[in-house]
Amino acid sequence: MSRIGKQPILLPAGVEAKVNGTEVIIKGSKGQLQAHVHANTSVEVRSGEEGNELVVTMTDLDSKLNRSLWGTTRSNLQNMVSGVQEPYVKKLEVNGVGYKVAVNGQTIKLDVGYSHPVEYKLPEGITAEVVKNLITLTGINKQLVGQVAAEIRKVRKPEPYKGKGIKYLDEVVRRKAGKAAKA
């Protein structure tokens, strides 16, 4: 039995969930998300003691695939419920002499030491804000926010000698010593 999968997902006030076969649609004050769940997974909306709740069940628990999907499906649905209530935020820090970042609509322009500026087009549902050397990404889809942050970081990963590059705000870059001087 999955300890995570069998827990119900509480739907707070202002959040609705609809289930159409394998499609789950969750609406909240910040937007709407929909997900396709595996055919062996059944999701239903129940009325509990503390309000409505989503319950994820599996048809066959003898299958290793079904056991592994149970907790994952429940966690993904929980992330959707949390996202339509309060958007997810990822912060990236740009370090380096002459490194600049600017946002123009849905495009982020990165000047990070290449001979040309790198332009990154933000997907729909993600907004970016730049203050000095800090990029703040916001969106209701946790997976998409993380993916966009990883792709922006990949443009110029932080290097271990001077720490130049794009890194997550809470990331610690392990620094290496430079060349040893001969005595």
Report how far residue 34's alpha carbon sits from residue 19's, in angstroms, rounded to the nearest whole number: 10
pLDDT of residue 49: 72
Question: Is residue 2 scored above 80 in pLDDT?
Answer: no
pLDDT of residue 67: 86
Sign of the dihedral defined by the CA atoms of residues 158, 164, 167, 171, in that order: positive
Q: Please list the residues that pair with 129 across neighbouring strands.
A: 136
3-state secondary structure 26-81: EEECCEEEEEECCCCEEEEEEEECCEEEEEEEECCCCCHHHHHHHHHHHHHHHHHH
In a domain, 152, yes or no: yes
**Which residue, 29, 57, 85, sits at the end of a domain?**
85
pLDDT band at 13 (very low <50, low <70, confident <90, very high): confident
**Which residue, 85, 101, 133, sits at the end of a domain?**
85
User: Identity (one letter) of the amino acid at 182?
Assistant: K
Domain check: are 98 and 38 in the same one? no
Dump pLDDT digits (tens) for 117-165: 999 999 999 999 999 999 999 999 999 999 999 999 999 999 999 989 9
Cα 2 versus chain centre, distance: 23
Question: Is residue 183 scored above 80 in pLDDT?
Answer: no
pTM: 0.89
pLDDT of residue 1: 60
Dump pLDDT digits (tens) for 23-39: 999 999 999 999 999 99
pLDDT of residue 60: 82
Question: Is residue 45 scored above 80 in pLDDT?
Answer: yes
Give me the phi and psi of 56, to 5 degrees please: -105, 125
Report how far residue 133's alpha carbon sits from residue 156's, in angstroms, rounded to the nearest whole number: 14
pLDDT of residue 46: 87
Structural domain including 129 reads 88-168
pLDDT of residue 117: 95
In a domain, 54, yes or no: yes
In a domain, 96, yes or no: yes
Report the number of distinct structural domains present in the chain. Answer: 2
Domain check: are 93 and 73 in the same one? no
Contact between 128 and 143 under an 8 Å Cβ cutoff? The reply is: no
Dump pLDDT digits (tens) for 58-101: 888 888 888 889 999 999 999 999 999 999 999 999 999 999 99
User: Identity (one letter) of the amino acid at 82?
Assistant: S
**Which residue, 58, 85, 112, sits at the end of a domain?**
85
